Amino acid sequence: MVFAVAAIGEAKKRGFRTIINATLFNNADPERQARFFDDVMDMGVDGISVSPGYAYERAPDQQHFLNRQATKELFRGIFSRKKPGKKKWQFNQSSLFLDFLAGNQTYECTPWGNPTRNYFGWQKPCYLLGEGYVSSFKELMETTEWDKYGTGKYEKCADCMVHCGYEATAVTEAVTKPWKMLAVEMFGIKTEGKMAPDLSLANQRPAEYVFSAHVQNAMAKLKHAPKEAELEDTAD
């Protein structure tokens, strides 16, 4: 922690815009988290990228991820503890996404909103789920069965409220329904009362545990790629 604080101070001293990431799990305490947000604002951090942890397939610890109800209650608890007179918390996300985290919006995931390209190629379908890789963005968009993914559609997505899928939905709504964003900006995030209805999980398809196989196949292709290139050079 000491080194992180020193690094942030040095980055700010050198003129860098500094954003921190805060991924929260089921052991997060709202009061402590609110104090942390106050502290990093006092340090001069320019923004906070905040998100609930997602139970991705290969995580060794599956016990500390939040379900959707717990996520909403946690963020309501945090937002309700914003103290008057303290610096405003500057988040690196839209106000409607934050409102969604507090249970005030009903959103479906936009899995193509933040596409991921890694060492193996473009990852299908999203940053959090690895169920295949393709070589081009065009192939990603045209061959991924997008309608099979998202909360209410796929068991792996049941508890997800992560920014990589829902921030894009929130931003789209901010453009198409700007009055909703304006209401949150004017009146703040509601932290009491009835929450917005959640998506039904009744018709979701069961999880397919295929990530490891896709990684192994991708590794095998990379391993053989130099040999194939060498054979092509020899043939030429």
126 CB-contact burial (10 Å; exposed 0-12 / middle 13-18 / buried 19+): buried
Q: For 32-54, write each residue's pLDDT tens digit.
A: 999 999 999 998 999 999 989 87
Whether residue 84 has a cis bond before it, omega within 30° of 0 = no
The pLDDT assigned to 56 comes to 65
pTM value is 0.84
Q: For 5-23, write each residue's pLDDT tens digit.
A: 888 888 988 999 999 999 8
Residue 236 has pLDDT above 60, yes or no: no
Q: For 82-92, write each residue's pLDDT tens digit.
A: 988 889 999 99
The secondary structure of 85-146 as a DSSP string is TSPPP-BSS-HHHHHHHTT-------GGGS--EETTEEEEE-SS-EEEEESSHHHHHHHS-G
By the 8 A CB rule, do 10 and 16 touch? no
Q: For 186-202, write each residue's pLDDT tens digit.
A: 999 999 999 999 999 99
Instruction: State the average pLDDT over residues 215-223.
Output: 73
Nearest to 105 by CA among 93, 92, 116: 93
Residue 61 has pLDDT above 70, yes or no: no
Q: For 126-183, write each residue's pLDDT tens digit.
A: 988 888 889 999 999 999 999 999 999 999 999 999 998 999 999 999 999 999 999 9
Instruction: State the average pLDDT over residues 58-78.
Output: 82
Rounded to the nearest 10 degrees, what angle do helices 178-187 and 163-176 cross at? Answer: 100
